[in-house]
Amino acid sequence: MPTLTHYLVLSGVLFCIGTAGVFVRRNLITILLSIEIMLNAVNLTFVAFGRSMGSADGQIIVFFVMTVAAAEAAVGLAIVIGLFRHRESLNPDTFTSLKW
Amino acid sequence: MPAITPLLVAQLVLVVVVFHALLLSAAAMVWVERRLAAALQQRLGPIRVGWQGLLQPFADVIKLMFKEELRPKAADALLFALAPVISATCAFAAFAVVPFGARTTFFGLLSEPMLLQVADVNVAALVIFAIASMSVYGIVLAGWSSNSKYSLIGGLRSSAQMISYELSYGMALVSVLLVGNSLSLTEIVNGQAGAWFGVIPRWFIFLQPLGFLIFLTAGVAETNRAPFDFPEAEQELVAGYHTEYSSMSFAMFFLAEYVNMVTVSAVAADLFLGGWHGPFLPESLGWIWFLLKVSALLFFYVWMRWTLPRYRYDQLMKFGWKVMLPASVLNLIATAAGVLYFGG
Amino acid sequence: MTLFYVFAAVAVVASLLVIAQRNPIYSVLLLIASFGALSGLYVLLDAPFVAVTQIVVYAGAIMVLFLFVVMLLNAPHEETDYDETVHPLRRPGPMRFGAALAVALVVELLWALTKSGGETGAFPGAAVSSVRTIGRSLFTNYAFAFEVTSVLILVAMVGAVVLARREGGPSAPPSA
């Protein structure tokens, strides 16, 4: 039977995969995708803890996290589109200097 | 290994039966569409192949099977092959949670009654919505992987249309959930049993007329059928997202479209038209009423296609966002007020 | 138990492939597969509403948004100034630091999480899985957060439209 520890270990691993993605990848969209992986790992933690405490609060907080993730993805992608229009590149290293 | 009980066998048989029924209904829809279109246009339609042309769909399928399976060289092979599979899979999967008959023991063969539904999930209405939102991927991937301008634009337009109308679809669904007081489709159907004054059946269409219209219109737009099929037919020579497909992949897209139509009609019949409840027949034969109601809705679908002119794409999107969405939100608010006032 | 391992394996492998893929479209599709596996895990945790909401919101809406952006931008494969065949831990500069940090984070998290008591049995207590209970709690205890979330979505919607608009309005030519 999977215990709470199993779920926590899984979400820890997923969170670190997301973090590694943010550090290692050089493509803005993939960085945003890695952030989504991290948010999902957090969701899993919430639901697992909510289940183990027998309350519905875990699922409710997941509801809010999902909404915030959707809003953040929308605004993040709009920013990516704006950046792409100026430099024709999705590599974050091209945006390191303030000079336009 | 679970024990091989008659119930397990019956459920497996049910899965097989439902799958083949959907396939057969898609084939039947091909025939119905062509004959009905012919009748509406005062011509004969296919009458030669088999009695009254009933074997025409099978002739079509055999012809499609013998065509060459083309793939553009620059197309992404994996996604090109995957897209029609996603479309067809989501179309069939959505029907898995639709109940089409009351609990029955098949004339006493089973020890306990079994519901005529492949999976009795208690959040069935949401599952249908979820699978409808997954079917967008088949279209958008088909448009992208063909690596051709027409396909890409057609695919993006088609999927933008689908996700715009999903909102009104969902809101109309939520209004019915308020009235039906449950997320499980079986319970919603069972809430429509009986009749007022013994004559008018207790269907939710009488409580939610606007919701029914919105649901059906959004369903037509979701399945990319006329009058909302602009992305498929805008350049009538170049057929939008399935331009580069031929043979069985093309057939799978059309199979997916017809099965989606059947699913939307089945869900509408369950939510608004009382499912399998009807007079004169015992509960265990209720699936006959269900078939009649679904057939009526499918007839309406085909009739609309061959009667109404097509919406232009910007008119279509304006309609979805500026008319349907506010109407469905108002419907939801009015329903909530009604439920609160009349006490459910 | 096996079902948990199946879903967990799919989620982890898909996420690893997401960050390892060069083609952004494949990354998005693999992430959708990962979300599907997570949805299965939520069902195992007796949370069917969250599972279906995950499919509707994440896999059905947010990922479609990502897919649209990738397609419209015709996102190129990353041009890189490092040798791609070398393992990240051996690449020079910030990437090696980042990869090493991620490995350290994994070790640290696993050490911390496995110290949480180590219950051996299944989940204690009953599950709260009915949508009715969730809804009631959402609209009474968390009503303020719910209303604020709706304002947040409105702000995000307006912000996304404004940010993605071409400068000078829709009739102006795109800036060079």
C171 vs chain A: nearest CA distance in angstroms?
A: 17
What ranges do the domains of chain B cover?
A: 6-342
Angle at A35 (CA atoms; ends C123, C143), nearest 5 degrees: 60
How many Cβ atoms are within 10 Å of C41's Cβ, its own excluded?
26
Q: Which of C128, C142, C147, C162 to mutate to test the interface with A (most CBs of A within 10 A)?
A: C128
Q: Could you give phi then psi for residue B73, rounded to 5 degrees?
A: -65, -35
A47 domain-assigned: yes
Position C150 scores a pLDDT of 93
Contact B144 C71 (CB under 8 A): yes
B126 in contact with C, Cβ within 8 Å: yes
Q: What is the mean pLDDT of residues B174-203?
A: 80
Structural domain range at position A88: 4-95
Would you say residue A52 lies in a domain? yes
Cβ-contact B285, B15 below 8 angstroms: no
Q: How much is the average pLDDT of B301-314?
A: 86
pLDDT bin (cut points 50, 70, 90) of residue C173 is: very low
The mean per-residue pLDDT over the stretch B253-265 comes to 89
- The mean-pLDDT minimum among B43-47, B208-212, C47-51 falls in B43-47
C61–B133 CB contact, under 8 Å? yes
- Domain membership flag for residue A79: yes
Residue B158 or residue B275, greater confidence: B158
Task: Tell which residue, B239, B10, B245, has the closest CA to residue B113.
Answer: B10
- Show residues of chain C in contact with A48, CB under 8 Å: 45
Higher pLDDT, C111 or B106: C111
CB B156 within 8 A of CB B234: no
Q: Which stretches of chain B are DSSP H helices?
A: 6-40, 56-66, 77-94, 124-134, 136-145, 149-180, 185-190, 209-222, 230-233, 247-272, 286-307, 313-318, 325-342
> From the candidates C39, C43, C52, which should be mutated to test the interface with B, based on the most B CB atoms within 10 A?
C52
Who has greater pLDDT, A49 or B275?
Answer: A49
Interface check for C65 against chain B (CB to CB < 8 A): the answer is no
* Chain C closest-CA separation from residue A98 CA (Å): 18
Task: Please indicate whether residue C82 or residue C55 has the higher confidence score (pLDDT).
Answer: C55
Nearest to A26 among C28, C80, C124 (CB): C80
Compare CB distances from A60 to C73, C103, C134 and report the shortest one's residue.
C134
Q: What is the CATH number of the domain that holds A88?
A: 1.10.287.3510
Q: A3-41, pLDDT tens digit by residue?
A: 788 888 899 999 999 998 888 888 889 999 999 999 999
ipTM metric: 0.90
